[in-house]
């Protein structure tokens, strides 16, 4: 008898997720390349956000330092409450809340 010998060939099949609706129409397919593109997009987005934040804070700290040194040259008196800043009749001060509109 002749015995046939089978060698399983290594297959490098990828994977794919197919999503169908209730009428069995294909809605979208998710493949490995989609996940790679999504990962690259997330990585580049985080990098851009970090760089944007660093540049934004550097520009504001430089402009704040320059404006603060110029405006600080005048003599400023301490703020003292007077009769106009105290509570008047009919008005009551409400305690500070953690959320606006009384949602606690």
How do residues 4-49 score in pLDDT, each as one tens digit?
Answer: 777 776 767 788 999 999 999 999 999 989 989 999 999 999 999 9
Mean pLDDT of 92-98: 58
End-to-end CA distance of the chain: 85
Report the pLDDT value the prediction gives residue 76, as an integer from 0 to 100. Answer: 66
**φ, ψ at 35 (rounded to 5°):** -70, -35
Q: Compute the mean pLDDT over every residue in the chain, rounded to the nearest whole number.
A: 75
Report the pLDDT value the prediction gives residue 13, as an integer from 0 to 100. Answer: 73
Interatomic CA distance for residues 103 and 97, integer angstroms: 8
Interatomic CA distance for residues 11 and 9, integer angstroms: 6
CB 20 within 8 A of CB 27: yes
């Amino acid at each position: 008898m002749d015995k046939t010998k089978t060698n399983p060939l290594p297959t490098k099949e990828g994977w794919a997720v197919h999503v169908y609706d209730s009428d069995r129409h294909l809605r979208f397919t998710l493949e490995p390349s989609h996940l790679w593109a999504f990962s690259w997009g997330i990585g580049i987005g985080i990098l851009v956000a970090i760089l944007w934040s660093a540049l934004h804070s550097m520009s504001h700290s430089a402009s704040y330092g320059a404006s603060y040194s110029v405006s600080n040259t005048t003599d400023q008196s301490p703020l003292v409450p007077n009769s106009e800043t105290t509570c008047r009749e009919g008005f009551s001060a409400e305690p500070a809340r953690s959320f606006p509109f009384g949602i606690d």
